[in-house]
Structure 1
């Protein structure tokens, strides 16, 4: 199986560079859809643990039990899924496009452009991918978090939810505060996704190189990876992404779910969280996040690699 989403190609012509970026865009979008379908229930648990008042839930299992009991299996596990499904296709598409572009930028500045990128160079390309992605990630995660938090608040009989769906959230946020309200938490999103993406792509590439089959005579890595190797590397990438940035994600979720008048800056949220529970307050939902990271990111990279393989068969390699 090809693994064109993360290996470093030789110097490209302008036409092949554009083709590579278009394919990265398409493959990333498909990988993102795979990630949402697999990972959304885990993400819902994480966000509800991060944003609930103390004592509402006793564990991740308690979140699942109460959510399903209140809303049924489909709505209980997939509340707020419309926002990530609408947002994740362009978000992951832009992420993998940005990564492909980042690799081309790093390659163009490398003293050895014909050699595979080093892991630090891959990490730099990954960081660059987060910059354009934030413009899409921040507003869609704002909407997703609001809908997920709304779903955990029981309503009095006969009272309708404040928001009827993703479009209604955007409409009300814009009415309340314009674009700054819609994009609230963007700085925290970039602070999470910059280093997170650097670790994400570096870990995937490192694991790919370690898991790649090797020529028995020369010991050199051979082209192609098994499905098992791709999913293993993808799972490892997801874990590597979350471990260093989880406290930032907690701050982001609190910022994006806060009502008007609540703590509205990163420093205010950090002080509030620390006063509430010390360092532990920055890690609610850590276990569900890691539990989600394994299958969701395995699915992401599997989807990306399968999409690249299909495009290579249909149109030839770039």
Structure 2
């Protein structure tokens, strides 16, 4: 396991991209099930258990740049500030770095997520280009950023929980072992921290999904851009109670628990490979 505070930017880019595409492709069916469970149309009306890989191409295209941007930002900020502060303040550095990385990542991630989730929840087969065209025709180019605020409001609390816990688990494990962690041990830390963060932030994920799936009706006077996270959460609670706020809880927590292991395991494996490669030295 390489010292992550000394990672070059190119290593962070490659490792982040590798981790992103690995987890998105391998666990995509769980993501589809979660999206359909959260759909306002209902699980079976949105496709049920059929075609669980709808939208996987879109997800694969977006996963590499979004994860690369995140880890490049996260590792760079951590590298700059970790050696300048007392170790007791390291969780604050990790939280700040994760927030900055997530905001940058969302600029790439949200348009991909909008297209992917509409593919997942649509009964008919729609191409990514057709979904983009529809969104632009009815809402302009900002239609591709539907749910951006909601996504960042979901992702920032998520990374504020996940990354300090991940770093803390690794530090405690390192202190117990007195040697660097293996890829499997890093993956285990990512799995547990991801599951905890996923459980806590599920209501925000439900609101984000509902907002992204809502398409503007050109014959309606209702402006879909007035959909707000707080309003959506209140509406879901009024219609379905607490159960509605935690729709898709099991597949989401399972997906991110497994995904945390795959994601951080792939990230660490890529870091170790890049660190040993003559090309990147």
How would you bin the TM-score normalised by the shorter chain?
A: 0.7 to 0.9
Alignment of 1:30-41 (within 5 A): 30-41=18-29
2:16 paired residue number: 28
Shift of 1:312: 0.9
Retained in 1: the 8 A contact 2:16–2:267? yes
1:315 paired to 2:278:
yes
Retained in 1: the 8 A contact 2:11–2:275? no
2-side partners of 1:213 and 1:247: how far apart?
A: 35
Deviations 1:61-86 (A, max 9, x none): xx99x424xxxxxxx22111111101
Shift of 1:259: 2.1
Q: 1:235 aligns with which of 191, 204, 222?
A: 191
2-side partners of 1:30 and 1:117: how far apart?
A: 30
2-side partners of 1:121 and 1:297: how far apart?
A: 21
The DSSP-based 3-state class of the residue aligned with 2:140 is helix
2:49 paired residue number: 67
1:147 paired residue number: 119
Shift of 1:240: 2.7
Q: 1:186 aligns with which of 148, 157, 178?
A: 148
1:91 paired residue number: 66
Shift of 1:279: 2.4
Retained in 2: the 8 A contact 1:51–1:257? yes
Shift of 1:260: 1.1
1:294 paired residue number: 257
Q: 1:201 aligns with which of 158, 163, 185?
A: 163
**Closer/same/farther in 2, CA of residues 304 and 212 from structure 1, 3 Å limit:** same
2-side partners of 1:117 and 1:315: how far apart?
A: 35
1:225 paired residue number: 181
* Alignment length (residue pairs): 274
**Closer/same/farther in 2, CA of residues 111 and 306 from structure 1, 3 Å limit:** closer
Deviations 1:169-201 (A, max 9, x none): 112211221121111100001111112112222
More helix by share: 2
1:250 paired residue number: 206
Retained in 1: the 8 A contact 2:114–2:144? yes
Q: 1:46 aligns with which of 34, 37, 48?
A: 34
2-side partners of 1:214 and 1:268: how far apart?
A: 47
**Closer/same/farther in 2, CA of residues 85 and 20 from structure 1, 3 Å limit:** same
2-side partners of 1:124 and 1:315: how far apart?
A: 32
The DSSP-based 3-state class of the residue aligned with 1:212 is helix
Ranges in structure 1 where 5+ consecutive residues have no aligned partner: 10-18, 58-62, 69-75, 154-160, 216-220
2-side partners of 1:54 and 1:189: how far apart?
A: 21
Deviations 1:4-44 (A, max 9, x none): 4xx444xxxxxxxxx72221111000001110122211111
1-side partners of 2:246 and 2:68: how far apart?
A: 29
2-side partners of 1:149 and 1:99: how far apart?
A: 32
Retained in 2: the 8 A contact 1:8–1:117? no
Retained in 2: the 8 A contact 1:247–1:282? yes
Ranges in structure 2 where 5+ consecutive residues have no aligned partner: none
